[in-house]
Structure 1
Amino acid sequence: MKKLFAFIVLSITVFTTFSQTKNFIDQPYVETRAKVDTLIVPDRIYLNIVITESDTKGKISVEELENKMAAKLVSLGIDLKKQLTLSDLSSNFKKYFLRKQDILKDKAFLLVIYNAQSAGKVIVGLEEIGISNVQLYKTEYSKMEDLQIALKSKAIIKAKKNVEALLEPLNQKLGKAIYISDMSNYDYQGGADGLVISYASKSSTNFEPIDIDFEKIKVQSEINIKFIIE
């Protein structure tokens, strides 16, 4: 009895799969692929800041440099609690040997800012207090998920219009979609190559940022879709 039941279940499964495949093949359909893209300005800019006693040849401690950095960032309108974090858990304790008798410490931070102008002010401001090891870590767009959904919709609309244009000369109508595949790539982070900074000199010792921009992030959506031909 158990063997008979198993055979019936297997037969139903095979028959159902075969029927679905056969029905799909027997239907007249058209397949197309559509892609849409856009360029966006990043609104999350991450700067990696390293303060080290070696920059001052050990004359200023990491703790003092950290306090100077914090004061400068606050003066530039930075919310330290929300925007500044340690780069890693071991950053508080990083040390290295310069000479046998000397141990110099360093400390790494990650600062997030929200526009290019603020990035320029931070870089120049930290340079003024002797902190020059500042690098662009990455850039992001905070509303990426919403943008991806919008682009998918546009890609589907584009695909539908393309197929309608193909069927119109044939006096045939477009039916419902029977297959959709999202072929988009979702790795959207700007890298360090996107930073461009220029400085205007007021005097030999005073510089201010005149132009800073970030490479825009290209976001695209690509779909593959099959429509029934009625």
Structure 2
Amino acid sequence: MKKTIFLMAAALFSSVTFAQSKNFLDTPYLETQAKVDTLVTPDRIYLNIIIQEKDTKGRVSVEEQENQMAQRFKAMGIDLTEQLVIKDMGSNFKKYFLRQKEVLKSKQYSLLVYSGKELGDVMIALEQLDIANTHIEKTEYSMMDELELELKSRAVKRAKQKADALTRPLGQKVGMAIHIADNSNYYPRYNQAPMMEMKAVSADMGQAQPLDIDFEKINVETTVNVKFALSN
């Protein structure tokens, strides 16, 4: 008896599935694909900074350089709590062995700035403090999630416009969407070690001026496939 009930349930499920598939296939539809992309300017720039003890007669310690850097950053309006972090928190200090077997300490930081202008100010300040071991790690766009959703909506609207253009000469009308597929490929959400262009470095009365920096823009794109039901 149980076996009979199971076979009846399986047959019923199969017939329902077949009917659904058949109904979908029997519906006249048009499939269109649309791609939308844009370029955005990074607004989160991560700068890697390494401070080392000076190998000189009057050696300057890491701690002294760190304090000087922190004071300069505070004077520039940088929030040290939010924008500056120490890398390798487990060790804090890395040690470098010289040929004379002497040990020099080093400390590494990551600084977050929000514009090319702010980065230029930081680089000038570090140069004045004789801290030259720096490089840009990556750049990001802070509103990436919202931008991706906006692009997907625009892509669906474009797919509808294409469907209207294709069916208008045939005298048919585009109905409701019966299937939507997001075919966007994965892409990096940031530029790793991005290219940057320093337009100019000038000096006025001995005072260094902020660098005018343009960053490589981040390309964001999305692709959708949409099936629209057709009617006469």
Q: Normalising by the residue count of structure 1, what TM-score does the alignment of the two structures yield?
A: 0.91
Please say if residues 180 and 225 of structure 2, whose CA atoms lie closer than 8 Å, have aligned partners that are also in contact. yes
Tell me the distance in 2 between the aligned counterparts of 1:137 and 1:223: 32
Note the alpha carbon deviations across 1:128-153, whole angstroms, 9 max, x for none: 10111111111111111111111111
1:209 aligns to 2:199 (yes or no): no
Moved more, 138-147 or 179-188: 179-188
Number of residues paired by the alignment?
229
2:78 alignment partner in structure 1: 78
CA change 1:68–1:20 in 2 (3 A) is same
Q: Which consecutive unaligned segments of at least 5 residues does structure 2 have?
A: none
Please say if residues 91 and 106 of structure 1, whose CA atoms lie closer than 8 Å, have aligned partners that are also in contact. no
Tell me the distance in 1 between the aligned counterparts of 2:49 and 2:9: 64
- Which residue identity lines up with residue 27 of structure 1 in the other structure? T
| 1:57 Cα deviation from its structure 2 partner | 8.0
CA change 1:20–1:79 in 2 (3 A) is same
**SS of the counterpart of 2:10?**
helix
CA change 1:91–1:113 in 2 (3 A) is farther
Tell me the distance in 2 between the aligned counterparts of 1:5 and 1:63: 79
Identity, % of aligned positions: 47
After superposition, residues 186-205 of structure 1 pair within 5 angstroms as 186-197=187-198, 198-202=200-204
Higher fraction of helix: 1
Note the alpha carbon deviations across 1:132-191, whole angstroms, 9 max, x for none: 111111111111111111111111111101110110110000011111111223532123
Moved over 6 A (4+): none
1:228 aligns to 2:229 (yes or no): yes
| 1:193 Cα deviation from its structure 2 partner | 2.9
Moved more, 45-54 or 169-178: 45-54
1:61 alignment partner in structure 2: 61
2:110 alignment partner in structure 1: 110
CA change 1:94–1:220 in 2 (3 A) is same
| 1:210 Cα deviation from its structure 2 partner | 4.1
- Which residue identity lines up with residue 194 of structure 1 in the other structure? M
1:45 alignment partner in structure 2: 45
| 1:227 Cα deviation from its structure 2 partner | 0.6
| 1:29 Cα deviation from its structure 2 partner | 0.7
Please say if residues 91 and 107 of structure 1, whose CA atoms lie closer than 8 Å, have aligned partners that are also in contact. no
Q: Which consecutive unaligned segments of at least 5 residues does structure 1 have?
A: none
- RMSD of equivalent CA atoms: 2.0
CA change 1:45–1:77 in 2 (3 A) is same
CA change 1:128–1:7 in 2 (3 A) is same
Q: Normalising by the residue count of structure 2, what TM-score does the alignment of the two structures yield?
A: 0.91
**SS of the counterpart of 2:155?**
helix
- Which residue identity lines up with residue 113 of structure 2 in the other structure? I
After superposition, residues 165-204 of structure 1 pair within 5 angstroms as 165-184=165-184, 185-197=186-198, 198-202=200-204
Please say if residues 191 and 218 of structure 2, whose CA atoms lie closer than 8 Å, have aligned partners that are also in contact. yes
